[in-house]
Structure 1
Amino acid sequence: MPRYIWLLVIGTTINVTGASLLWPLNTIYMHNELGKTLAFAGFILMLNQGASIMGNLLGGVLFDKVSAFKTIILGTGTAFLAAVMLSFYHTIVPYSILLVIIGFGSGITIPVMFAMAGSVWPEGGRKTFNAIYVAQNLGVAIGASVGGFVASVSFNYIFMANAFMFGLFLLLVLTTYKGMDQEKDRLMSTTIIDQSASIKDKTAFKRLLILSIGFLVAWIAYSQWQSTIASHTQDLGIPLEQYSALWAINGFLIVIGQPLVSWVTKRITSVKQHIYIGTVIMMISFFVASFAEIFTMFAAAMVILTLGEMLVWPAIPSLANDLAPRGRAGFYQGFINSVSAAGRMTGPFLGGLFVDVYNINLLFIILFGLLIIPFVTTHYYDRGLKASQ
């Protein structure tokens, strides 16, 4: 991979490691430590992801119109300052406000990382976005593997470590990312915009919207592992560090499982097929989780879930990049990242409200049914596009 891709991979790993010390524990902290309901915790996470959506869209636009480097500085700097304040003030009111600000700042950064990767290594194709995806999950593995143990001692240390990692990422950006703007500008200067560009953009964006519906539903289901299922494990008496270990399993399996992904993608080259297969595997994971009462069963469900997401999650930004007209890569990556944020936003709130009113067993049935939707949207998203080509 090119040098700049490695720098993006390293930066993504550092950034996500810091975030992963905290985000799997948000619901547990608000529900178990601060005594708030699951619905309330889900509502705060909804605000956090709502801010992330705004950040995603702003970051994508600034990438296209202004500067990737300046945009990353804006996003990371905002998240860093909020994280520093969070390490000092984490009762429920400042916690809620600062969590929203962190969501906004991180939201600005994420699509820029994906869009920049696509611009500096366009010939990489799926490999380009898979590299960032693997880096994200390496960060999840590292952060989650230690987060639960640290939190079992004191949540204060989690907040401080989160701020430190954001600061480390900001330092890396300041010292190494400036040159990526020049590479982006060089690539964009070769763009030729013809009179039909607007029509092509509208057609492509319609296909992106269709694809995004299934992506949204998949994230609503997936987010339950970070919210309702997280609290469910605590109700079953599973230690906090063991729940955190589930995310360590997730992250490390994604890293070490890349040869398996490569073996599958070489034999099944259709990205649409990757989404079909991956979604079926994710459905199986929720089926297993619905019967789980001990850690080993949840661990087995997490392994299955991870195998599914390894096929689905990198495929979506890759398809979005393929759909994006020239000069619109940043916006398309911002939009698709905002969709995942919307799933993370509404998922915990809806799931928490549903469990508070009914029970988690019925929620599992609903989630299983919802995951049928990505099959439909993936099947139909590109029909109009093919017809227009």
Structure 2
Amino acid sequence: MPRALWLLIFGMAVNTIGSSFLWPLNTIYIHDHLGKSLSIAGIVLMLNSASNVIGNLYGGHLFDKIGGYKSILLGISIALLALIGLSIWNVWPEYVVFLTIVGFGTGIIFPSMYAMAGSVWKEGGRKAFNALYVAQNIGVAVGSALGGIVANYSFQLIFFANTIMYFLFMLIAVFGYKGISNITKKGKQEEQKEAVNNNNVNLKALLILCLGYLLCWVAYNQWTTTIASYTQEIHISLKQYSLLWTINGALIVLGQPLLNIVLKYLKSSLKIQMLIGIGIFIVSFIIAAKAGTFTGFLAAMVILTIGEMFIWPAVPTVAFSLAPKGKEGIYQGIVNSTGTGGRMIGPVLGGIIADLYGMPTLFTILIGLFIAAIITTLTYDRVLKKKTVVSGTVRGQM
């Protein structure tokens, strides 16, 4: 892998370690420490995610206009200032204000990270995006493990730890990312003309795919919201819950060699890869719905992890393949904002359903969302096939 990609991987890991101190525990903090209902907690997280969606789209636009270096520094600066405020004022309602600003700042960062990764190692294909995905999960494993331990002593320390890690991330970006050129701006005039022609049909395919991606994230996000709170109600300790996410991250890192063998053996397209992942998600949620002990949730988490290893890196890979020249940033912004949109809708939807109808009903609805996601994944590339009939070839057809 290129040196530039290693710098992006390292920065992604540090960034995620910091955020993973807090995000798995947000609902627990709002519900148990601030004394708010699950519905209110869902609304707070929805505001955080809504600002993150805006940040994703803005960050993708900035990448295409001013490059990744300046975009990432702007996002880090906004997030860091808000985290300093959150470390000092983490009571109601200040908690809501600062958490919302953090969402906007972090949202700006991710499209540039992914677009830069695809640009510096185009020949790597899915490997560049998978590398960032693995780095994120190293951060999840380390951050959530430390977060659970620290939270048992004091939630106040959680906020300070998050702030310190973002300061380290800023140092990495300042001294490491300036030399990473935005090579997407070096396309030839002919490629720019082709990009205009390809943009509409490719964008339509991406939006169809991202609809299913959103539904998957709505369901997946319940593990950090309603399911997190539910585990506390059935007397699974905070330390055990945090351990689930540590196992999640560790399996993603350690399971990569096995995953590569499986994908090579199946000779699967990205489309088949995503469909397999969604099917595995369904199995995981069926097991979680019947679980009443830590062992049951552990089994569900292991299966969930296998599913996300198939689907999460595949979607940004498809997006980069679909992106016309000079639009790599905004396409990654759409993918990231879609995932964030799922995390925005998930808490409030899951919280309301859990409060009104209970967890069994919630699990049934979540499985229905996965089935709908299978349908969108099966059909997203039909517009590309239609274009192939008309023009002969399609840039980005998987």
Same fold (TM over 0.5): yes
Task: Give the match for residue 364 of structure 1.
Answer: 363
Cα separation, 2, equivalents of 1:34 and 1:49? 20
State whether residues 196 and 324 of structure 2, in contact with CA within 8 Å, keep that contact through their aligned partners in structure 1: no
1:234-273 → structure 2 map (5 Å cutoff):
234-268=232-266, 269-273=268-272
CA contact (8 A) 1:204 1:323 kept: yes
Tell me, what secondary structure is at the counterpart of 2:93? helix
Do 2:78 and 2:101's aligned partners in 1 also have CA atoms closer than 8 Å?
Answer: yes
Q: Following the alignment from structure 1 to structure 2, what is the Cα–Cα distance between the partners of residues 261 and 315? A: 13
Partner of 2:67: 67
> Following superposition of structure 1 onto structure 2, how do residues 312-323 of structure 1 map, counting pairs within 5 Å?
312-323=311-322
Q: Tell me how far 1:288 sits from its aligned partner.
A: 0.5
Query: What CA distance in whole angstroms lies between the structure 1 residues aligned with 2:228 and 2:22?
Result: 13
2:165 counterpart of 1:168: no
CA drift of 1:135 comes to 0.3
Pairwise CA distance, 1:84:
1.2
Aligned to 2:92: 92
Percentage identity across aligned positions? 51
Give the distance between the partners of 1:267 and 1:36, measured in 2 at CA: 49
TM-score of the superposed pair, with normalisation by structure 1: 0.98
- Return 5+ residue gaps in structure 2 as ranges: 389-398
**Structure 2 Cα separation of the partners of residues 175 and 209 of structure 1:** 36
The residue number in structure 1 matching 2:26 is 26
Equivalent residues in 2 for 1:199-210 (5 A)?
199-210=197-208
Match of 1:299 in 2: 298
Amino acid at match of 1:365: T
Paired residue secondary structure (1:180): coil
More displaced 10-residue stretch of structure 1: 256-265 or 216-225 = 256-265
The Cα offsets for residues 227-251 of structure 1, whole Å up to 9 and x where unpaired, read as: 0000000001111111111110111
Counterpart Cα distance in 2 of 1:384 and 1:342: 24
Write the distance in 2 (CA, Å) between the matches of 1:129 and 1:72.
17
**What's the secondary structure of 1:371's corresponding residue?**
helix
1:55 maps to a residue whose letter is G
- Give 1:64 deviation, angstroms: 0.4
The 1-side partners of 2:130 and 2:193 are apart by 34
Question: Post-superposition shift, 1:329?
Answer: 0.5
Preserved CA contact (<8 Å) 1:27 1:38 = yes
Could you tell me how far apart the structure 1 residues matched to 2:362 and 2:345 are? 14
CA shift at 1:191, angstroms?
3.4
Match of 1:136 in 2: 136
Paired residue type of 1:300: A
Could you report, residue by residue, the CA deviation over 1:110-150 in whole angstroms, capped at 9, with x for unpaired residues?
Answer: 11100000111111100010000000011000001111111
| Residue 212 of structure 2 corresponds to residue 217 of structure 1 | no
- Give yes or no for contact 1:191–1:327 (8 Å, CA) kept in 2: no
Contact kept? 1:51, 1:101, Cα under 8 Å: yes
- Structure 1 residue runs of 5 or longer lacking an equivalent are none
Deviation at 1:267, TM superposition (A): 2.0
- TM-score, scaled relative to structure 2: 0.95
**Matching residue of 1:233:** 231
Is the 2:52–2:103 Cα contact (8 Å) retained in structure 1? yes
| SS of match in other structure, 2:180 | helix
Measured after TM superposition, the shift of residue 196 of structure 1 is 4.8
1:195 offset after TM fit, Å? 4.1
Match of 2:324?
A: 325
For 1:188, the equivalent position in structure 2 comes to 185
Q: Is the 8 A contact 1:30 1:92 kept in 2?
A: no
CA-to-aligned-CA distance 1:37-69 (integer Å, 9 cap, x gap): 000000010000000000000000000011210
Separation in 2, partners of 1:194, 1:38: 49
Size of the alignment, in residue pairs? 386
Assess if the C-alpha contact under 8 Å between 1:9 and 1:132 holds in 2.
yes
* Structure 2 residue identity aligned to 1:150: V
